[in-house]
Each structure stands twice: as structure tokens, then as C-alpha cells.
Chain A
Amino acid sequence: MNFRKLQLANQRKTFELLFGMGLLVGVVVYAALTYFGKTGVGIVPFAVGIALISVWGSYWASDTIVLTMTGAKEIQESDNPKLFDLIQEVCIASGLKMPKVAIVEDSAPNAFATGRNPDKALIAFTTGILDVMDREELQGVIAHELSHVANRDTLVSAVAATTAGAIAILSDFLTRMMWFGGGRRDDRESNQNPLALVFSLVILILAPLAAMLLRSAISRRREALADATAVAFTRNPAGLRRALEVLAADNTVVAQRSTAVAHIWIESPLDGTSVSKLFSTHPPIAERIATLRKMEANPESY
């Protein structure tokens, strides 16, 4: 398995998952149509509108918003010339512009990337990660973060969040309408087949859950893709692998555990054991290490 194949596989998988989300929207609209007739469908633009406004605002200003949410402070080259050298190296390897750099005062080792496009990119490191990692490990981490920038993962996750959000709002609206018995009675356009009614009811209730699962699956794919792209940049799977081992061995977590920004860190800041694997935003770290080891074992592959 070389990194080019891994990149392609993960890109294809993301595409399939996004397609699945689109399909899910279609199914929900169909269920709404079956159950409520036209009134139900009238709500769709509202749900999509609300989701769009709430997600795209934060997508557009992601570099500044995430700074405040994580307490990261932007730094200049003179503050940490060695870190900037390392980042410049990976920028040259990837052909990306130099991103903004920020530091989070936190002893837990972690890092993240954000920004709506490569020109607005920002990568941040906790003081902890700069302390515990050597040059090569840090280079792997930087390559992973810049891979998120190169792969436009802020955009991908915004698209996933919008769709999941729209589905959640839609289902919430419609189940409430159902509760209060509104809409249905006089509507002759809605389907009267009881089986179809029960079926669409189940769809409306389960859709938000399914959307959440798809969203997490997309996030996991993008992490795996970023690992593969990082190897494409540095041609050094060992650096990132050792960095992940450091992260795995360390059991401190970043102090602020806001779930809203959990997906952007290189290592999930949420306590992995309490969250089921299906809802996790990151693939299990052991699995990521194993994939990198496989690449190391076969130097011809990169």
C-alpha cells in the first residue's frame, strides 16, 4: 500500500460518504412528503437555510473563530524561528503558502489546522507538543496539519456539518409537527398507506442519527487521508508514526474539551473510551500507527 493509493482510496471513500449524505437528504424529503404531503416539504428550504447560515458563518471565519474557541495566540517568526523553519520545509515540500501559526498554552500535546482555504490557513500547536516532540516527529505533525489544509478539510467538514445539521433540523421540525398532530389530517396529498406512514416515521426519527454517523465517518476518512498526504509531503512515515506513538502514550488531554472543535485536533481531545467508535471523529490511533508502519516496512512504496 503506498501513499498515492491510500490518498485515492480515502478520497473515493469521502466522496461515497458525501453521496450517502445526499441520498439521506433525499430519503428524508421523501418521508416528509409521504407523511405530511406538501406542507412537510415546504420546511426543507428553512432547514437547509438555518443549517447553511449557522455552519457557513463559522466556515468563513474559521481561522479567527477557532483562535478564540481554543485560546490560541498567533505568533511571528521571531517568536520561534525553529518552528517556522520546520513549517517552511513542509510548505516547500507541499507547494503550499506559509500558513499563520499559533500557540495554545496547554501542556497536553496536540495540534490543529483550520482556515477556509490555503491562503487563510492557520496551524496551531500546544506548548506541550513543542516540548515533548523532536524535530522529525514535529515535522510529521506539521505535515499532517498542512495536509488538512491541502485537502481542504475545513470545507469538507463544513459541507458534512451543513447536511447533517439540515437533516437534524428537518427531522426535529417534522417530529414536532407530528406530535401536535398538525398538517396531516386535511392533507389529501399525503400517502394513506399505513405501512408507508410507519416507514417514513422511522426514517424521520433515525435520520439525524444516521447523519451523525456519516459525518463522523467522513471525519475519520479525512484523518486517514491527512496521514497519507503527510507521507506524500515528507516521504518519512516514521516521523509521523513516532509522533502518534507519543500522542498515544500521553494520557493528558487538552483542557478545553469543547466538542464543537474536537474534530480539528490531530489527536481527538475527547476521552476515546467513553465515545463509541462509530461516533468517533478520528480513526483509532493504533490503526493509524499500524498503517504508517506498513508504509515504513516497504520503503519502495514512497
Chain B
Amino acid sequence: MSTTLIVLAVIAVLVLVGIAGYNRLIRLNVSVDEAFAQIEVQLKRRSDLIPNLVETVKGYAAHEKSTFDAVVAARAKSTSASSVADVAAADGAMTNALRGLLAVAEAYPDLKASANFLSLQDELSTTENKVSFARQFYNDNVRSLNSAVKTFPSNLFANLAKVSARVFYEVEDPADRKAPNVKF
């Protein structure tokens, strides 16, 4: 009698642990999707700023054609990307193209002083921050998911929940590498 009870209790506990583990994996997987959607939202915001920015810079520096072309090409490429790796690659290209555009603007004092450009620049810099925080949040979520998929006991339910390790969002950007911190 009491042995049956104990066996039943053990089974009940195991089932509960199983359900919790399964649910956790599903939840982590959903948060990775949400985090990726957030990256796309912010990339869209950035890409919406571009026509205006290009027009403004053109007004002062019409002959810097190659720079504009790079930005426009990067923007076109980003609309077709859908997988994590593709989106990340397009994102990196865009980040670099925009950096080039802002570097060009440095050479035109009139442009730099124009109110329109200043407000665009502000908006671009906060959007750039949002993009990079969205990337970081996505990678944090992928890290949690991947460690849950690989560690015991949650790894036992990964197949059942149809959840597997996901790829990190990595942007190829030389400037993103951490520069050595030199302080005097």
C-alpha cells in the first residue's frame, strides 16, 4: 500500500519536473523569436531614416556618389534578408555604409550645422543604440536557450518540444571589436 503511494508520488514529481522543463524550453524558444523580431523592428526603423538622411546629405555634398550608392545598395539588400545570418550580414553592411556617410558629412561644416541634419543624426544614433541592444538581447536569449538545450534535465525534452540550439546574431564589423582600454 505505502510502496504504491511512494511510487505514485515519485512518478508525479517526475511528471511535474518534465512539464516544467518542457515549458521552459518552449518559453525560451519563444523569447528568442521575440528578440529576433525586435532586431527587425529596429532595423526597419533605421532603414526608414535613410531616404531622408541621404537627401539631406545630398543637398550639401551631391558629388559623393559612391557613398550614397553604398547606403542605398545596403538598404536594398536588407529588405530581402530573412534568415538570422542574412539579416546579420545585411545589418553589418548597412552599419558600415552609414558610418561612411557620416564620415563624409564630417567634411561639410554647413551640413553639420544644419538643424535637419543634427536631428537626423540624433535619431540615427539612438536607433543605432537600439539596434545594438536588440542584438545583445537576442544573443542573451540564444545563450539561455542553447544552455537549456544542452544541459540536464532540460536536454531530455528538447526533441519532444521540437526545440534546438539557435545561432547567435553576429555582425561582421571591425569597429565592434573591443578596442583595448587605454587610460591615463
Of B35, B141, B181, the most chain A CB neighbours within 10 A belong to B181
When chains A and B are docked, how far (Å) is the Cα of A86 from the Cα of B34?
A: 21
A93's partner among B122, B136, B178 (CB-CB below 8 A) is B136
Known contacts A95-B31, A95-B137; is-contact A88 B181 (Cβ 8 Å): no
- A interface residues, how many (CB within 8 angstroms): 14
**B130 contacts A92, C-beta separation under 8 Å:** yes
Is A189 an interface position by the 8 A CB rule? no
Is B126 an interface position by the 8 A CB rule? yes
Known contacts A90-B133, A92-B42, A93-B133; is-contact A299 B126 (Cβ 8 Å): no
Tell me if B's interface is mostly helix, strand, loop or mixed.
helix
Query: A296 — which chain B residues lie within 8 A by C-beta?
Result: 181
- B50 to chain A: closest CB distance in Å? 18
Query: A93 — which chain B residues lie within 8 A by C-beta?
Result: 133, 136-137
**A85 contacts B136, C-beta separation under 8 Å:** no
Give the nearest-CB partner of A233 in chain B. B133
Query: B35 — which chain A residues lie within 8 A by C-beta?
Result: 95
Query: A85 — which chain B residues lie within 8 A by C-beta?
Result: 126
Is A97 an interface position by the 8 A CB rule? no
Tell me if A's interface is mostly helix, strand, loop or mixed.
helix
Is B134 an interface position by the 8 A CB rule? yes
Give the nearest-CB partner of A84 in chain B. B126
- What mask results when residues 125 to 169 of chain B are scored 1 for a CB within 8 Å of chain A, else 0? 010011001101100010000000000000000000000000000
Query: A88 — which chain B residues lie within 8 A by C-beta?
Result: 126, 130
Query: B31 — which chain A residues lie within 8 A by C-beta?
Result: 95
Is B121 an interface position by the 8 A CB rule? no
Query: B122 — which chain A residues lie within 8 A by C-beta?
Result: 82
- A99 to chain B: closest CB distance in Å? 16
Query: B134 — which chain A residues lie within 8 A by C-beta?
Result: 92
When chains A and B are docked, how far (Å) is the Cα of A94 from the Cα of B137?
A: 7
When chains A and B are docked, how far (Å) is the Cα of A95 from the Cα of B181?
A: 29
When chains A and B are docked, how far (Å) is the Cα of A207 from the Cα of B181?
A: 50
Query: A86 — which chain B residues lie within 8 A by C-beta?
Result: 126
Is A13 an interface position by the 8 A CB rule? no
Is B38 an interface position by the 8 A CB rule? yes
**A89 contacts B133, C-beta separation under 8 Å:** yes
- A228 to chain B: closest CB distance in Å? 15
**A92 contacts B38, C-beta separation under 8 Å:** yes
Of A85, A95, A299, the most chain B CB neighbours within 10 A belong to A95
Is A152 an interface position by the 8 A CB rule? no
Query: B34 — which chain A residues lie within 8 A by C-beta?
Result: 95
Is A235 an interface position by the 8 A CB rule? yes
- What mask results when residues 18 to 56 of chain B are scored 1 for a CB within 8 Å of chain A, else 0? 000000000000010011001000100000000000000
**B178 contacts A89, C-beta separation under 8 Å:** no
- B30 to chain A: closest CB distance in Å? 12
**A89 contacts B126, C-beta separation under 8 Å:** yes
**B181 contacts A92, C-beta separation under 8 Å:** no
Give the nearest-CB partner of B35 in chain A. A95
Query: B133 — which chain A residues lie within 8 A by C-beta?
Result: 89-90, 92-93, 233
When chains A and B are docked, how far (Å) is the Cα of A95 from the Cα of B137?
A: 7
Residues of B within 8 A of A (CB): 31, 34-35, 38, 42, 122, 126, 129-130, 133-134, 136-137, 141, 178, 181
Q: Can you list 17 residue pairs at the A/B interface with Cβ under 8 Å?
A: A82-B122, A86-B126, A88-B130, A89-B130, A90-B133, A92-B42, A92-B130, A92-B133, A92-B137, A93-B133, A93-B136, A93-B137, A95-B35, A95-B137, A233-B133, A296-B181, A299-B181
Interface pairs A-B: 7 shortest CB-CB: A93-B133, A85-B126, A92-B133, A89-B129, A92-B134, A92-B130, A89-B130
Given pairs A86-B126, A89-B133, A299-B178, 15 additional interface contacts (CB within 8 A): A82-B122, A88-B126, A88-B130, A89-B126, A89-B129, A92-B38, A92-B42, A92-B134, A92-B137, A93-B133, A95-B34, A95-B35, A95-B137, A95-B141, A235-B136
